[in-house]
């Protein structure tokens, strides 16, 4: 049996395309990032080549499949189709199948060359990989955009290069297809094709691990420019199209609309000076928004004495799981237990404070993160056309203006929701993700898993940064360990869980699967507890660091629908140094949600500042006159105030009582139209402010 000539074109085109993408990346690195560390360059080329191979294997796999189809039909053709017709449709001598194959290879070759050259000019212009902004050609004045492209870029030269490249690839393919190859045994041919299929499968996956190589698992460097060079342009275009389809569209708004909404709901713009907080109805009313710090020269020394602030958003650290916690038989807290338990009650000389009547802002990580940091009511802002807009009055902006260094750490991947790039736009000074953690703590490789590193290393990095900090530092930490597929470090010894009496609380009845979930939850809590211990026991840090931590959303593996308040409840924990904590009025019965986190942290750490608050307030001033209207908790799915629980989008609300710190629904009632209108106006105000900050800042 003779080999079909399928494999040789695949091998040759794969080599050509891979070399083409490599040449593109080398040229871009030399021109745009000439100075980079050897380690970062290794990551760039190694990971970039894997992404290139994904694209190339997807493309050439179609050639192999096409060859199999034609070869399967060949015996039938020779038997049932007249010879003169069979020659017309065959893969040799100019047959239709041959022409289809050549046309496909020509189109693929042209696209490879065009994407490689286009990627170079896109980066040169926008300093980023191909992203959703490219679809502005469609949304803007298309003719005008095309005219700009014609004037600013060597379009004819690029097209000529692509045509020559295509011609070269087609010629090589033609020669290979017409080769007369020696006969091989059936076994040899079968083995060759099995190897080819396996190689293409692994190339398309980009990984031999449990997870295929995806946008949010791509290994990155500390050099953001190199991170853009890692991406293959065709994959980047695919990701960009997905982002474009899923991203929300923002639009300009009128100031008068916002003023009307603030009067109907609550003011949202504030300035705090000399202990007095004042509200404003627009950005233009703020005195120091655009450029300078609100600190006066006389307060310069106080900036150096300002406490460090650590804000932690913990994956699935939710009250619906913590409701099962028991130190003896169902330990969910590990080393976090002493601080969490002591913080739930008002005591003398306490440093730990826990608010349990508390809701997450969103119901998945991206939604809660967006509401906390850019203060955006939609999680895809970091993927939208607004991703290049630096927003005023974000927590990053507030702390930057107060003289803080801003750092983002995640044990996951900074490419997730484009957070690395977006947080840089918002003003973050340094980004550290699983890639950096793996380099910085080589021992972490042993505990790496599908989505990143174990949380303990993110906390170790935060402690290291704080210990070396020369100026006040604001650290944002996003944890990931308590996320499916659940896996805990081998060094972690989980407690025994008495599962029999509690298995009915879970959404599945597989004991082994539940134990993996419980171990991940306890590990994540334990890792955070050890971080708090390090801060408390450090002579350098214990009086200089404020730590605030909350969960991002409910634990999804628990049964839901029985208690809508518990389904969306997360705790909010604070460690506060003694010299600050001793002046606080703590009420553990305070009702709150994510909207209250940063108004509280600002009040604890800053003297003079301007901020945005969507109904949030300092949780230690709940008894202050005038704060009654801020006593509510908001989640995308439910609103809770002193009067009741209001599931959003329904007509039925519930009175409630608090049992063991858990808000528990009681009798139902019809939600008044006035409450529906108020909640609706709150939503409109939230959308108005993000549009206003994007277009009117």
Top pLDDT among 300 and 374 is at 374
Identify the weakest region by mean pLDDT among 237-241, 472-476, 530-534, 646-650.
237-241
Contact 372, 395 (CB under 8 A): yes
Is residue 77, in this structure, part of any structural domain at all? yes
Q: For the residues 179-197, what does the mean pLDDT come to? A: 77
Residues 436, 340 within the same domain: yes
Q: For the residues 471-483, what does the mean pLDDT come to? A: 96
How far is Cα 546 from Cα 532, in angstroms, rounded to an integer?
Answer: 10
Q: For the residues 158-168, what does the mean pLDDT come to? A: 95
Residues 315, 190 within the same domain: no
Distances in Å between the alpha carbon of 640 and those of 265, 550, 666, 667?
16, 18, 13, 15
Contact 149, 125 (CB under 8 A): no
Residue 317: domain span: 307-625
Q: What is the dihedral of CA 663, 664, 667, 672, to 10 degrees?
A: 30
Residues 478, 341 within the same domain: yes
For 642, which DSSP code? S
Q: For the residues 515-543, what does the mean pLDDT come to? A: 96
Strands (E), 366-472: 405-410, 430-432
Residues 35, 148 within the same domain: yes
| Residue 470 pLDDT | 93
| Residue 295 pLDDT | 36
pLDDT tens track for 313-327:
999 999 999 999 999
Q: Assess whether pLDDT exceeds 90 at residue 276.
A: no
| Residue 65 pLDDT | 85
Top pLDDT among 3 and 358 is at 358
Contact 548, 597 (CB under 8 A): yes
pLDDT tens track for 391-424:
999 999 999 999 999 999 999 999 899 999 999 9
Identify the weakest region by mean pLDDT among 140-144, 384-388, 551-555.
140-144
pLDDT tier at 138, thresholds 50, 70, 90: low
Q: Assess whether pLDDT exceeds 60 at residue 632.
A: yes
Q: What is the mean pLDDT of the chain?
A: 88
Q: For the residues 506-512, what does the mean pLDDT come to? A: 89
In the chain, how many domains are there? 2
Residues 238, 319 within the same domain: no
Cis peptide before 320 (omega within 30 of 0): no
How far is Cα 324 from Cα 502, in angstroms, rounded to an integer?
Answer: 8
Tokens standing for residue 114 = 């065009």
Is residue 263, in this structure, part of any structural domain at all? no
Q: Assess whether pLDDT exceeds 90 at residue 152.
A: no
For 183, which DSSP code? B
Is residue 332, in this structure, part of any structural domain at all? yes
Q: For the residues 184-204, what does the mean pLDDT come to? A: 82
Q: Assess whether pLDDT exceeds 50 at residue 505.
A: yes
Residues 229, 318 within the same domain: no
Top pLDDT among 95 and 31 is at 31
Q: Assess whether pLDDT exceeds 90 at residue 433.
A: yes
Is residue 281, in this structure, part of any structural domain at all? no
| Residue 108 pLDDT | 95
Identify the weakest region by mean pLDDT among 40-49, 75-84, 302-311.
75-84
240 φ/ψ angles, rounded to the nearest 5 degrees: -60, -40
Residue whose C-alpha is closest to residue 481's, from 505, 455, 502, 499: 455
25-45: b or e for each residue (b if 16 or more CB lie within 10 Å)? beebbeeebeebeeebbebbb
Is residue 640, in this structure, part of any structural domain at all? no
- Give the number of other Cβ atoms within 10 Å of residue 448's Cβ: 18
Identify the weakest region by mean pLDDT among 80-89, 271-280, 439-448, 671-680.
80-89
pLDDT tens track for 573-590:
999 999 999 989 999 999
Is residue 449, in this structure, part of any structural domain at all? yes
Residues 236, 347 within the same domain: no
With helix as H, strand as E and coil as C, how does 482-545 read?
Answer: CCCCCCCCCCCCCCCCCCCCCHHHECCCCHHHHHHHHHHHHHHHHHHHHHHHHHHHCCCCCCCE
Q: Given 226, 246, 266, which residue is the final one in a domain?
A: 246
Residues 380, 482 within the same domain: yes
Residue whose C-alpha is closest to residue 237's, from 55, 48, 14: 55
| Ramachandran class of 289: left when φ > 0, alpha when ψ lies in -120 to 50, beta otherwise | alpha
Q: Which residue has the tokens 């980004």?
A: 431
Residues 233, 329 within the same domain: no
Q: Strand pairing partners for 641? A: 632
Contact 420, 431 (CB under 8 A): yes
Q: Assess whether pLDDT exceeds 50 at residue 300.
A: no
How far is Cα 528 from Cα 571, in angstroms, rounded to an integer?
Answer: 14
Q: Assess whether pLDDT exceeds 80 at residue 189.
A: no
| Residue 87 pLDDT | 52
CA angle 277, 280, 282 (to 5 degrees): 145
pLDDT tier at 627, thresholds 50, 70, 90: confident
For 596, which DSSP code? G
Is residue 287, in this structure, part of any structural domain at all? no
- Give the number of other Cβ atoms within 10 Å of residue 167's Cβ: 13
pLDDT tens track for 54-75:
999 999 998 888 877 776 665 5
pLDDT tier at 150, thresholds 50, 70, 90: confident
Residues 228, 312 within the same domain: no
Is residue 658, in this structure, part of any structural domain at all? no
Could you write out the DSSP letters of every residue in 303-370? HHHSPEEEEEEETT--HHHHTT-BTTTB-S-GGGHHHHHHHTS--TT--EEEE-SEE-SSSSHHHHHH
pLDDT tens track for 595-605:
999 999 999 99
521: domain CATH number is 3.40.720.10
Q: Given 585, 610, 625, which residue is the final one in a domain?
A: 625
Segment (H or E) for 20: helix 7-32
Q: Given 592, 625, 658, which residue is the final one in a domain?
A: 625
Q: For the residues 517-529, what does the mean pLDDT come to? A: 97
Q: For the residues 532-559, what does the mean pLDDT come to? A: 95
Residues 239, 365 within the same domain: no
Tokens standing for residue 654 = 């519930």
Q: SS3 of 58, please? A: helix
| Residue 509 pLDDT | 86
How far is Cα 292 from Cα 520, in angstroms, rounded to an integer?
Answer: 44
pLDDT tier at 144, thresholds 50, 70, 90: low
């Amino acid at each position: 049996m003779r080999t079909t000539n399928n494999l040789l074109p695949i091998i040759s085109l794969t080599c050509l395309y891979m070399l083409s993408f490599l040449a593109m990346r080398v040229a871009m690195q030399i021109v745009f990032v000439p100075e980079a560390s050897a380690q970062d360059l290794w990551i760039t080329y190694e990971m970039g080549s894997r992404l290139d191979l994904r694209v190339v294997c997807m493309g050439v796999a179609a050639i192999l499949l096409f060859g199999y189809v034609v070869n399967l039909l060949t015996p039938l053709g020779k038997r049932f189709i007249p010879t003169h017709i069979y020659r017309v449709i065959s893969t040799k001598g100019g047959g239709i199948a041959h022409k289809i194959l050549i046309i496909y290879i020509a189109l693929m070759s042209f696209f490879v060359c065009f994407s490689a050259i286009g990627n170079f000019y896109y980066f040169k212009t926008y300093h980023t990989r191909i992203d959703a902004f490219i679809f502005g050609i469609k949304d803007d004045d298309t003719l005008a955009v095309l005219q700009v492209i014609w004037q600013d870029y060597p379009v004819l030269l690029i097209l000529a290069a692509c045509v020559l490249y295509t011609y070269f690839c087609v010629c090589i393919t033609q020669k290979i297809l017409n080769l007369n190859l020696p006969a091989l045994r059936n076994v040899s041919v079968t083995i060759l094709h099995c190897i080819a299929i396996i190689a293409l499968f692994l190339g398309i996956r980009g990984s031999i691990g449990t997870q295929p190589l995806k946008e949010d698992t791509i290994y990155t460097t500390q050099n953001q420019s190199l991170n853009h060079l890692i991406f293959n342009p065709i994959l980047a275009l695919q990701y960009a199209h997905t982002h474009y389809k899923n991203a929300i569209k923002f639009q300009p708004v009128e100031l008068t609309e916002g003023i009307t909404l603030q009067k109907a709901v609550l003011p949202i713009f504030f300035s705090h000076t000399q202990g007095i907080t004042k509200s404003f109805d627009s950005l233009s009313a703020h005195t120091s928004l655009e450029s300078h710090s609100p600190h006066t020269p006389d307060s310069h020394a106080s900036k150096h004495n300002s406490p460090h602030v650590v804000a932690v958003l913990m994956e699935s650290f939710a009250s619906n799981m913590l409701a099962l916690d028991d130190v003896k038989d169902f330990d969910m807290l590990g080393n976090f237990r002493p601080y969490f338990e002591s913080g739930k009650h008002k005591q003398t000389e306490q440093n730990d404070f826990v608010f349990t009547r508390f809701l997450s802002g969103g119901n998945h990580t991206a939604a809660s993160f967006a509401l906390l940091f850019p203060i955006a009511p939609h999680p895809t802002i970091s993927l939208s056309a607004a991703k290049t807009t630096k927003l005023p009055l974000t927590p990053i902006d507030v702390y930057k203006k107060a003289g803080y260094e801003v750092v983002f750490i995640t044990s996951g991947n900074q490419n997730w929701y484009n957070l690395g790039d977006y947080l840089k736009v918002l003003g973050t000074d340094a980004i550290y993700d699983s890639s950096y953690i793996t380099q910085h703590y080589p021992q972490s490789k042993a505990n790496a898993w599908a989505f990143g590193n174990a949380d303990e290393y993110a906390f170790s990095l935060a402690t290291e940064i704080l210990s070396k900090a020369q100026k006040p530092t604001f650290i944002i930490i996003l944890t990931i360990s308590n996320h499916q597929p659940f896996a805990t470090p081998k060094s972690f010894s989980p407690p025994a869980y008495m599962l029999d009496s509690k298995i009915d609380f879970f959404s599945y009845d597989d004991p082994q699967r539940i134990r993996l979930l419980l171990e991940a939850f306890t590990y994540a809590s334990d890792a955070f507890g050890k971080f708090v211990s390090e801060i408390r026991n450090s002579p350098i840090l214990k009086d200089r660091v404020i730590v605030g931590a909350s969960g991002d959303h409910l634990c999804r593996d628990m049964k839901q629908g029985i208690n809508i308040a518990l389904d969306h409840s997360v705790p909010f924990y604070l460690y506060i140094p003694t010299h600050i904590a001793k002046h606080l009025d703590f009420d553990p019965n305070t009702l709150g949600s994510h909207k209250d986190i940063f108004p509280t942290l600002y009040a604890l750490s800053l003297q003079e500042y301007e901020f945005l608050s969507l109904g949030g307030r300092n949780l230690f001033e709940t008894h202050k006159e005038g704060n009654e209207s801020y006593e509510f908790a908001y989640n995308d799915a439910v609103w809770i105030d002193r009067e009741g629980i209001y599931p959003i989008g329904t007509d039925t609300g519930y009175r409630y009582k608090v049992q063991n710190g858990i808000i528990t629904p009681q009798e139902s009632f019809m939600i008044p139209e006035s409450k529906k209108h108020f909640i609706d106006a709150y939503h409109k105000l939230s959308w108005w402010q993000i549009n206003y900050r994007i277009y009117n800042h």
